[in-house]
Amino acid sequence: MRATIMHAPGDVRVEDRDKPAVRQPTDAVIKLVAACVCGSDLWPYRGADKISKPAPMGHEYVGIVEEVGAGVRNVRPGQFVVGSFFASDNTCDICRSGYQSACVHRQGVGGAQAEYMRVPLADGTLVATPGMPDAGKVPSLLAASDVLGTGWFAAKAAEVGPGKTVAVVGDGAVGLLGVLAAQQMGAERIIAMSRHADRQALAREFGATDIVEERGDEGVKKIKELTGGLGAHSVLEAVGTQESMLQAIHATRAGGHVGFVGVSHDVALPGRDLFYSHVHLHGGPAPVRQYLPELIDLILGGTINPGKVFDLELPLEQAADAYKAMDERRAIKVLLRP
Ligand SMILES: [Zn+2]
């Protein structure tokens, strides 16, 4: 089969690899219908994360079940499934409390930018759609697999709700879908922080009421001006840098909540800043599995269309071009068709 492998920063190739097989009775093998490049794939691509050996890429996926192990009960061959980037049993205490991405049996899921992939703990990880979805719903279902689920968790973690003012730091796919999540959860006002016209337009389409182009302290000042000097009730952080994290904390009013989902890179919080901020911090790798049934319903019912974040679609063979387009910010998010 063909699969996307990262050899070194900036060096992504599509190569022949062995087709994965069921190894454990709890595994499933799926034939990918669509996959995509994640903002977090850009960290190693840009040299910010080390690559010790050639790495199969991709952790966002929708596909059709090809084969299941003897112990799999909840999905069967032929079903269309959506999964999350951490495999979870969905039965342990941590899973049942809603934190499947910290499951005691959690395993990373990788190699989705390919024709086939193996998914461990298939019963707890995969959610089948009722019947075969229309082709037009595939991008949105793919978004549910990570970026939408992650934006959704950011909004939940930031305690977004009716009557609240929300600010979103980061205008990548996760930030934009954080705007959509905030709108679905009834936020009164949603401030998107972005300096790119195309992303601002999509943020408005997803429900943003205000746009702030400034960053850092200037951006914080702007948020304060828009909120009577207090700051937002809920701030979603979807970048993962020191600047974005401090921007999020400082833009939150006393007693407010920060939901942080950008993969942290060298973030070190100054203790006194944190002490006097009076904000709640909650975040981490999103428990996407918790939200999948609800998100699939909202998508198939036509209530939300998160697939709009894919502004470029390429055949799997051109995965290297997909990385380049996202690295150069020519595309918000690229969908790959095996
Ligand atoms: Zn678990």
The pLDDT value recorded for residue 94 is 98
Do the strands 80-82 and 61-68 form a parallel or antiparallel pair, or are they unpaired?
antiparallel
Ligand 1 mean position, distance from CA 286 (Å): 14
The 10s digit of each residue's pLDDT in 242-294 is 999 999 999 999 999 999 999 888 899 999 999 999 999 999 999 999 999 99
Ligand 1 mean position, distance from CA 182 (Å): 27
Ligand 1 mean position, distance from CA 245 (Å): 29
Ligand 1 mean position, distance from CA 101 (Å): 8
Token pair, residue 30, equals 């799926």
C-alpha distance from residue 130 to each of 68, 99, 116, 222, 300 (Å): 18, 25, 22, 45, 9
Ligand 1 mean position, distance from CA 30 (Å): 22
Beta bridge partners of 235: 167, 258
What residues in the chain have per-residue pLDDT under 50?
none
Fold entry, domain 2-146+287-337 = Quinone Oxidoreductase; Chain A, domain 1 (3.90.180)
Ligand 1 mean position, distance from CA 278 (Å): 32
Assess contact for 218 and 250: CB atoms under 8 A: no
Ligand 1 mean position, distance from CA 250 (Å): 35
Assess contact for 248 and 169: CB atoms under 8 A: yes
Ligand 1 mean position, distance from CA 89 (Å): 4
- Rounded to two decimals, the pTM is 0.96
Sign of CA dihedral 39, 149, 240, 61: negative
67 CB burial (10 A radius; 0-12, 13-18, 19+): middle
Assess contact for 305 and 295: CB atoms under 8 A: no
Q: How far is CA 317 from the centre of its chain?
A: 23
DSSP, res 114: B
For the chain, give every domain's residue range: 2-146+287-337, 148-283
CATH superfamily for 148-283 is NAD(P)-binding Rossmann-like Domain (3.40.50.720)
278 phi/psi in degrees, rounded to 5: 60, 35
Report d(CA 113, CA 39) in Å as an integer. Answer: 14
The pLDDT value recorded for residue 50 is 87
Percentage of the chain exceeding pLDDT 90: 96
Ligand 1 mean position, distance from CA 175 (Å): 27
DSSP, res 40: G
Ligand 1 mean position, distance from CA 121 (Å): 10
Report d(CA 157, CA 190) in Å as an integer. Answer: 16
